[in-house]
Amino acid sequence: MNLLASLISIFITLAVSAPLRAAQPAVDAQTPAVRAAVRVLLARFFSGAKRIYVSADGPFTVKDEAGNLVASGTSSSSLCVTLSPASGAGGEPGRLQVVDPAYAGQNSTDDADVLPVMVRIAPADPAGSIQIGAATGTKRLAYRGVLEVSVNSGGALRIVNVIGIEDYLAGVLKPEIGGDAPVEALKAQAVAARTYAVRNLGRLWADGADIDDSNRCQNYMGRSAETPAVLQAVDQTRGEVLIYNGAVIDALYCTECGGMTAEGPASEPYLRPVATAACAAKPGWTFAISPADFGARLRQDAGDATGDITKVEIAKADASGRALQVLVTGRDGTRTITGIRLRQILGVDNLRSTKFTVKIRDDRALVFTGQGWGHGLGMCQAGAIARASGANPETYASILADYYPGTQLTKLSASLIRRAGPLPAASLSRR
C-alpha cells in the first residue's frame, strides 16, 4: 500500500461533540431530542461539493469509527477529502479519499474496500477550529467542534458540524442579526436562536443532522462569524430559553415585520401580532411581473392552466394585514393559493413578505407593493435593534416578553430538551 493509501481508513460515526467553552451534561446520544450537541448540515456553502480542502489553526486529526488515526495535520498543512472516482458504483455506499491536495481527484488505491464511507475531522485542541473550503484559492470557513464527512444520496459530500449548542450560537448571531447590533438585541437574538435550535433538534434527521446552516433553519457561519460582542451576548445568556406552559417554544423570528408581526396558529398563542413602530416607518418594497411571466411560474409550480394573469386579489388576511389566501385570475381560469406559497413561487427575495397590495400598471404588469421582510412571525429583528438602541434601551428580557407574549425565560435543562420535539417537514422556513 502506498503513502497516499495509508491516509485512508473505514467507517466513522460520532455520537456527541465535546463542548468547547463550558461543560454540558451528558445525555442520551441515541435520541435526537435529548442530546447536548447540535448537528448542523453545512448546506449553504457546500451543497453539491465533490471535495473539500481542510486545514486548521493547530494540530488536527482524521480518525475512523474505532478511533484509529487515518491522517493528521498541523497549522501549516492541508488535506483534501474527495469522492472516490468509483464512489457508489453498483449500489455500494459512497466512499471517500483523504489525500494530499496536490493529488485530489486521483485514485490513491485500487482496493475500494479500504475506502472510508465517513471521516471525522477534529482539532487536537478542543478550543481550536477546522477550516474548510470547496475549492483551492478560496476563503475557507472555520468551524469549532467536529466535522463529519460522508457521501449523500445524490453523490456529493454531506458535511455535518457536530458542536456544543453555545458554540453553535456564536456562529449564528452575526449572520442573523448583524455583529454590530446593540448588545441587548444580540442577547435577545441569542435566546431566540437557542430556543429555536432546541425546539428543532431532529428536524433533518434523515440527513444525519438536526438543522442546516441556511435560512431554512438559521444562518450559521461557524467560528468565522464570531466577534467579541457576539461571544459576550452568548455567554451572558448561556443556557437561557423561552418556554410556554412548561415546554420550549417555536421561537420564530423575522428580518422586518412591516409595522406589525404576523398572527401565528392557535396552537402557538405566543405568536400574536405585535406593533413595531420602527418597522412601520421603514420604506417598503415593490416587485413587478408581467402577466405572461406570472402565468408561466404558476404553470411550472402546479401545471395550472390559468394563462396570463390579469388580476390578483387578497381573499383572506390575518390581523396584521398579511395575505393568507390569494385569488389569482388568468385568461383561462382562476386559482386560490396561500400567501406563503405565492412568495415561494415568485421568489422570497422578490415578494419579501405577504404584507402587500397589488395594482396593474398601464403596461398590464402586476405591481406588488409591500412592507416587511420574512414570514413576520415572532421577534422582529429590526424592531429588536430599535428597542435596544437610544438613550433608554430596553433589556433583552423585555424585548423577548413583548414579541413572545406569555412566555417565560428559563435555564435549559435535560427535561426541557426531552420535551422539545422535531418540527414537521412542512413547517415554515425561517424566511
Flag whether 13 is in a domain: yes
The single residue listed with the C-alpha cell 408561466 is 296
Expressed as residue numbers, the domain containing 14 is 5-170
What does the DSSP assignment read for 209-263? Answer: -SEESSTTS----GGGG--HHHHHHHHHTTTEEEEETTEE----EESB-TTBPPP
Tell me the average pLDDT across 271-292. 92
Query: Of 170, 194, 229, which residue sits at a domain end?
Result: 170
pLDDT band per the 50, 70, 90 thresholds, residue 289: very high
On whether both 16 and 159 belong to a single domain, the answer is: yes
Specify if 190 maps to a domain: no
| Strand-pair category, 323-330 with 333-338 | antiparallel
Q: Are 152 and 292 in the same domain?
A: no
- Which position has the higher pLDDT, 219 or 27? 219
Instruction: Decide which of 112, 141, 170 is a domain's last residue.
Output: 170
Which residues pair with residue 287 across a beta bridge? Answer: 368
Which residues is 55 bridged to in the sheet?
A: 131
- Indicate whether 126 belongs to any domain: yes
Are residues 18 and 151 located together in one domain of the fold?
Answer: yes
Is the predicted pLDDT of residue 5 greater than 80, yes or no?
A: no
The pLDDT assigned to 104 comes to: 56
Domain-embedded: residue 262: no
Average pLDDT, the chain: 84
Domain count, the chain: 2
Answer yes or no: is 182 within a domain. Answer: no
What is residue 301's predicted lDDT score, i.e. its pLDDT?
Answer: 82
Write down which residue in 329, 347, 370 finishes a domain: 370
Q: Which residues, at least 6 apart from 154, have a Cβ–Cβ distance to it below 8 Å?
A: 48
Does 9 share its domain with 143?
Answer: yes
Establish if 144 belongs to a structural domain.
yes
At residue 5, what are phi and psi to the nearest 5 degrees? Answer: -65, -30
Sign of the torsion formed by the C-alpha atoms of 227, 228, 231 and 233: negative
User: Same structural domain for residues 26 and 155?
Assistant: yes
Predicted confidence band of residue 34 (pLDDT cuts 50, 70, 90): very low
Q: How many CA atoms lie within 13 A of 134 on its CB side?
A: 13
Span 89-96, average pLDDT? 67
Banded pLDDT at 413 (limits 50, 70, 90):
confident
- Is 123 a domain residue? yes
Q: Taking 70 as the threshold, does the pLDDT of residue 22 lie above it? A: no
Task: Please say if the pLDDT value at position 320 is more than 60.
Answer: yes
Domain for residue 400, yes or no? Answer: no
